[in-house]
Amino acid sequence: MGELDEVVPLLKISPQGPAETGRRAGHPGAPQPEPRVGRRAGIELPAITRRRRLSPPAAVRGPLSSGVALVPRVGQPTGVRSRQRWLPSLVLSLGLVVGWMATPAAAASPAPRVEARAAVVMDAATGAVLWQRREHLPVLVASTTKILTAIVANDGYPASKVLRVPEAAELVDGTRFGYRTGWRIRRDQLLTTLLMVSANDAAETLAAGWPGGRAGFLRAMRAKAAELGCTDSTWRDPSGLDVPGHRASAADLAVLGRALLQRPVLAKLVGSRAVTYVWPNGHRTVLANHNHFVGWGRDKGAIGVKTGYTTKAGATIVAAQRRGGRTLLAVALASKVMYQDVRALLGYGFKVRPEAGAELLGVRPEPPDDGPAPTLPPATERITGPVSGGPSPLVERLGVRILAAPVPVAACTGVACLAVGALALFWRRR
């Protein structure tokens, strides 16, 4: 061999630890100080890292410079640290996904709990049905009939009309206000007692003064109902007594309730908690609204309309409420808890919007004629490029998810998952 072919002896690994590691066999160098296991720059490493580094390497190959000790690398990623890095991100991602999915699930409002045999809740602006049960079933409707009676009298008689009370009015069955045969009562006074205290003698007086008498008034009721878009009803009595053939549906009553609210004189009456009534002799009395949905003042935004009751028909009600620029009508027929039913119907209705293809009740009013459509300006004067007339689909979707959702279990679950993800992210950065 040449001068460079010197045989280098193999390293000897001492079982005593790293004190003798790092010098050649037979080298007289000074003993190296034992490294401080598990420490780097004065910072103590976790116990699991310390235990792993106590084990010396199995073999060391290659030439080592004199006096250099083999110190294990400190700070290698372990399985625990790897899990600590990706676990918070996973929890945060899961929280975001679950929260995003829970919000639309919460937005789906459950159906209202209604005891009535037939019921409907309708959007007054469009006539769209928001929820219904047997809405087109003709049933006995009791004094909610007086909604149509009031509409016909309001449209057919002038405000100054004075009508004579017939004998049939004094003898009529059911609720009477106390009119006597031969008294002369103005139309508005009759409408007041008709709608506020459900006076059957007022209904009979209004019917008797019609051209053709009572029979002519009933024909006018049927004609007016058809004109407004009613399809299921047959009208045989101006008061709503249980006479043969007198029937109406919840859908038709909703249509009539909307028509009444479009007449200012009638809408003011049914939306009042109490009014002052002047008798023919000048005596004044205060009449409280028999419709407790309005009269008791417990339901904010309640604006009407009419209640009824007979033994066969049970309790019936047509209710209307206005919230946030929307007006809804709810009808409950043959119900033992009519006020709870209409509150449930209206509460549900204000949480939802009319669906595409929903049934539309009544005759839709024709849009006003604003004249011929304006012509477009020349092409050179038009603004080019897409112009958005509303929010982007993403913003609209977020708004629907956030604003339309109530706060049931699903929404709370989503919020909880988001909170857990945020806490996990905070714990990761500590």
List the catalytic residue out of 93, 143, 233, 335: 143
Residue 318 · residue 254 · CB < 8 Å: yes
CA separation for the pair 401, 363 (Å, rounded): 33
List the catalytic residue out of 55, 65, 146, 268: 146
Count the Cβ atoms, other than its own, within 10 Å of residue 48: 11
List the catalytic residue out of 65, 93, 198, 224: 198
Q: Among this protein's residues, is 12 annotated catalytic?
A: no
* Residues in contact with 324: Cβ distance below 8 Å, sequence separation at least 6, in sequence order: 350
Question: What is residue 179's three-state secondary structure?
Answer: coil
Q: Among this protein's residues, is 224 annotated catalytic?
A: no
CB-based burial, 187-217: b 16+ in 10 Å, e otherwise: bebbbbbbbbbbbbbbbbbbbbbbeeebeeb
Q: Among this protein's residues, is 146 annotated catalytic?
A: yes
Instruction: Please give the helix or strand (H or E) that residue 148 lies within, else none.
Output: helix 146-156
* Residues in contact with 411: Cβ distance below 8 Å, sequence separation at least 6, in sequence order: 102, 103, 106, 405
CA separation for the pair 141, 316 (Å, rounded): 6
What separation in angstroms does the CA of 109 have from each of 112, 298, 300, 344, 346? 9, 24, 21, 12, 13
Please state the separation of Cα 168 from the chain's center in Å: 49
Q: Please give the positions annotated as active site.
A: 143, 146, 198
